[in-house]
Structure 1
Amino acid sequence: MIDSNKLELELNRGISFQKKGENLKAKNIYLEILHKNPHHPDALNLLGTIFQESADHQKAISFIENAITSAPDIADYYSNLAVSQLAIGKIESAYLSCSKAVEIDQTFPIANYNLGNSLFAMGRADEAIKFFKVAIDLEPSNDKFWSNYLFALNFRSNLDNQEVCDENCRWGNIKRNKNAETTRFVNSKETNRPLRIAYFLPELDQHVTPRFLKPILSNHNKAKFVVYIYGYTNKGKPQQFLTKGPHIWVDIKNMRERDIAQKIRSDRIDIFIHPCTFKTRYRNILRYKPAPIQIAGINLVSTTGLEETSYLLSDEITTPYGSSDKFFTEKLVRLSQFNVFGPSGNLPKIILSPVFKNRFITFGCFNNPTKYGKQCISLWSKILLKSPKNKLLLKHRAFENTEVRNFFTKQFVHNGVNETQLLYSGYTQKTAKYLEHYNLVDICLDPIPFGGGTTSYEAVIMGVPIITLLGDSVMGR
């Protein structure tokens, strides 16, 4: 006979190990419980989350689905299931799982957050925002909730710059560091010395910011500036141009933000430039005032909402004079050009536009499909309906998944587009091979209201013109 009390004690022991990051010990305990009771729902669910943490999402799904079979009324199980479904591109399945979790428990913060994530992945930003807000109302200090909520605001179909500013400031007030005002700096006040500049690159393997930073680093005046880069990768090693060269690389992996700020202050940095404030979880370092002057620039979508940020780099197009300043807590510094971009590696040969061979126009978009909202697809459908011969190539790693392709195909077909007009391409590992796909495109279409960034530069480099619709926000301009 199974002693349920003993199993409960063992389960709690496994949970304790898992919370401490000792997943192997936790896994063995859960497996032992399942050996005694193969249908133990909590052990199945928790074992699934361990596989989830190691990115083995197929196994995670299998175990969590078995947990649901054993106990079909636990919101946590459905929410956990959705995380793995979303990770492998099963966006509609994730949406259904999250919806079930919220149906069971509307006050479950993480379920509302995950439902927001699944809606956002489907290009339904307006609906996603509602659930991110619910999650924040239930758990106001959760940075993860705030990060995705504030980012999603920039995708609204009826985007409101004042709302974006106000909500970023609301987050900033919650996170405000009262000690920042009394921070003491020991920087030299000598006027004829080189200034010390620092760039901050957290999780630099998870975003494209280094590609925008590369040409800047190679053009710094070495007589006037000493350049530091504080950063880390989640996997692998940083690119050589970051760790080698005249600048100083400082690896800050596994350091707390407070300690990073202290390290930067001890290095007597004069100007701290944060090149990736597009996610709020990357902005937290600014709260600790690591340098006397703090600047946001390069990869950003809005104000930082933090009083500790002194300036924000922009240009006249991105933030027009007279109408934009009120939406920023920072003083805007408008440069002649806001961003520069450096292509990585050797570029493939640019060939003649394919329309001359095909006798029809191939439009293309290589952006993340989260940008393909209802408004965007409706506009693109009208373009395709002008001529049934014309085609649209959509390229992104998400289109490796059949469910994702089918989801977006249905939306175009609903607007009257023939399925044969849609072409999909998934992940291409090598940069040169990836860029070659631009040779298949005559004209790139820019998504709305959140326009392209990296992909727009790539298209121009490969000689492909872009049709865009000028918006009112930073990412619409």
Structure 2
Amino acid sequence: MVKERQRIMLVYRTAYDLWCKKKLSEAAQILQDFWHASGMKSLQGMLLMAYIMRDQKRYISEVKVLEELFERFADSGEYKLLADAWSMLGSVLRRLGDSQLSVEAFKKSVELEPDSEQKLVDCSNALFSANAIDGVTADYMQSLYALYRNLLRNLSITPYPTRKWNHQKIRVGYVSPDLRDHAVAQFVWPLFCQYDKERFSVYAYALTKRPDWVTAALQQKGAIWREVSGENWQEIARQIRDDEIDILVDLAGHSAENALPVFAWRPAMIQLSGIGYFNSTGMDEMQWFLSDVYCSDDETSPYFTERLLRLPKSHFCYRPLGNFPEVGQSPCRKNGYVTFGCFNNFAKVNDGMLMVWKKILEAVPNSRLLLKHSLLGTEEGREYTVQRLKKLGMPLTRIEFRGLSKDYLAQYHDMDIALDTSPYPGGLTTCEALYMGVPVVTLKGNRHGARFGYSFLANLGLEELVAESVNDYIDIAVKLASDTNLLELLRKNMRRIMQASPLMDSEAYMGSLERMYQNILQKFD
């Protein structure tokens, strides 16, 4: 028995070393050969195989390995390894668009995970996945928020006493892992580059593990930069407190590599979240959430624990990074048919949305649907998607799949009309489509994060592309497809319309935001 364990560990270490060197095929082959020859599989070895499958983008194979792992080792008592496996399953299911099962997998990871801080990470992952569930209820979201708060309490954090600093300038701190070439950076640029230096001092608490040219550009704009990616949550909170920050803003929510637990120390008197995430943090210590009059009807929402700060126009300010291609001609003119499309993360594309798109294709003769995402660039991902669409009766001969590519912006030249997802709409993807002259049809949701498309289009004066219901969504898409002259007109003028809109008016945006900061600070006088 001892010799068998030694053999298993020797094979595991050899495969692990190869995996660390990115020699994925060799690592997988060593494990497979040993399993075939000996019939002996270990929990560590199967978990490593799942990581290899993930890195090879063989997501269906990854799911199969994990399912067998749970079958063999569910009662092993290796709670840390099992928690890692459930977390991996949650991630791959989210990628494949099965958000409900993704949430359950992450919750199972929370249950088994022995490390208190990692429990919070997995709970954040569950909350992130829940946003894409079709028909998700406020009660369901609130139950996940309650779980997150309970996990926070287990850290036994002692908050700092509330204090108002009364500096000559208001000190605003921004916490983010995404101050780099990332979608979020294209919406936070004015926070660091166009703030009023006479009245405000800006501090960046950067959790950026891979700084790049965007990071460097932001650092040069005058903000006091704190690189905190290597520090723990308590150390970050202490740094913020030492900096005597008046208003602390989270720009990540429950997205990857967030530092939400820092806010549990209450290092600043006023704490709010927004921009980088689309739903509540669920934290008692987060008082406010940044929204606008289109995304939120009121200052309160059953989906939120924070009060909603509603800017009068857009709570986003879009600044394209890099070079955009010139706007092309409407492809329907040369093709003789209309091409609908969606470049959103495919995890947002639930079956309900696919059925809506099916009805649109049925109503527009000879129309096509163009789907683009990294999942669709892999053999297993395409096959999985084809089988999923086939079960729904989608017309596969009229649907084109494309994988991730550097020239994705130019590929909007192949799309006439973009179809937004719901209840988890596009953010940057919607702005990019519009900037490339492609009109976007969106469904007005029932909460802040589900209304991003509505806010974008309303701020462009294009509310006629916003649907109040599924039937309305279908009707708008079908009617738009029948008017090639309108499609050409929109394509020709959309970029100019955006540039002149509140969505890209950084001066007016910062004026509204900074007035809001002053107003909420005055509430504590």
**TM-score with structure 1 length normalisation?**
0.84
Query: What does the per-residue CA deviation read over 1:187-241, in whole Å, with 9 as the maximum and x for residues that have no partner?
Result: 6425xx1111111122545842111101333331111111111214323435133
1:377 paired to 2:351: no
1:189 corresponds in structure 2 to 166
Query: What does the per-residue CA deviation read over 1:152-204, in whole Å, with 9 as the maximum and x for residues that have no partner?
Result: 1111123112221231132123213654434465x6425xx111111112254
The Cα of 1:365 is off from its aligned counterpart by 0.9
Q: Could you tell me which of 83, 86, 90 is aligned with 1:109?
A: 83
Helix, strand or coil at the partner of 1:468 = strand
1:411 paired to 2:388: yes
2:243 corresponds in structure 1 to 267
Contact 1:68/1:74 (CA < 8 Å) preserved in 2?
no
Tell me, in whole angstroms, the C-alpha distance in 1 between the residues paired with 2:165 and 2:390: 65
1:356 paired to 2:323: no
What is the identity, as a one-letter code, of the residue corresponding to 2:420?
A: D
> Unaligned stretches of 5+ in structure 2?
76-81, 452-525
1:35 corresponds in structure 2 to none
Distance 1:335 1:354, change over 3 A: same
Contact 1:367/1:452 (CA < 8 Å) preserved in 2?
yes
Helix, strand or coil at the partner of 2:400 = strand
> Unaligned stretches of 5+ in structure 1?
12-39
Q: Could you tell me which of 262, 266, 272 is aligned with 1:285?
A: 262
Paired residues for 1:1-400 under 5 Å? 40-53=7-20, 55-69=22-36, 70-107=38-75, 108-139=82-113, 141=116, 142-176=119-153, 179-183=157-161, 188-190=165-167, 193-202=168-177, 204-205=179-180, 207-237=182-212, 239=214, 240-279=216-255, 282=258, 283-321=260-298, 324-336=300-312, 337-387=314-364, 389-400=366-377
Contact 1:67/1:77 (CA < 8 Å) preserved in 2?
no
2:411 corresponds in structure 1 to 437
Contact 1:355/1:362 (CA < 8 Å) preserved in 2?
yes
Contact 1:271/1:291 (CA < 8 Å) preserved in 2?
yes
Contact 1:381/1:412 (CA < 8 Å) preserved in 2?
no
Same amino acid, percent of matched pairs: 27
Stretch deviating more after TM superposition (455-464 or 106-115): 106-115
Contact 1:194/1:226 (CA < 8 Å) preserved in 2?
yes
The Cα of 1:420 is off from its aligned counterpart by 3.0
Tell me, in whole angstroms, the C-alpha distance in 1 between the residues paired with 2:166 and 2:191: 26
Contact 2:160/2:267 (CA < 8 Å) preserved in 1?
no
CA RMSD between the two structures: 2.6
Helix, strand or coil at the partner of 2:159 = helix
Tell me, in whole angstroms, the C-alpha distance in 2 between the residues paired with 1:387 and 1:165: 40
Tell me, in whole angstroms, the C-alpha distance in 2 between the residues paired with 1:168 and 1:280: 17
Tell me, in whole angstroms, the C-alpha distance in 1 between the residues paired with 2:307 and 2:410: 41
Helix, strand or coil at the partner of 2:409 = helix
What is the identity, as a one-letter code, of the residue corresponding to 2:225?
A: W
Tell me, in whole angstroms, the C-alpha distance in 1 between the residues paired with 2:326 and 2:245: 43
What is the identity, as a one-letter code, of the residue corresponding to 1:138?
A: L
What is the identity, as a one-letter code, of the residue corresponding to 1:440?
A: D
Distance 1:215 1:143, change over 3 A: same
What is the identity, as a one-letter code, of the residue corresponding to 2:57?
A: G
Stretch deviating more after TM superposition (102-111 or 286-295): 102-111
1:29 corresponds in structure 2 to none
Helix, strand or coil at the partner of 2:148 = helix
Paired residues for 1:457-476 under 5 Å? 457-476=431-450
Tell me, in whole angstroms, the C-alpha distance in 1 between the residues paired with 2:426 and 2:244: 37
Query: What does the per-residue CA deviation read over 1:392-425, in whole Å, with 9 as the maximum and x for residues that have no partner?
Result: 1112233221211222122223333343322222
**TM-score with structure 2 length normalisation?**
0.76
The Cα of 1:294 is off from its aligned counterpart by 1.1
Tell me, in whole angstroms, the C-alpha distance in 2 between the residues paired with 1:97 and 1:158: 31
The Cα of 1:373 is off from its aligned counterpart by 2.3
The Cα of 1:391 is off from its aligned counterpart by 1.4
Contact 2:192/2:222 (CA < 8 Å) preserved in 1?
no
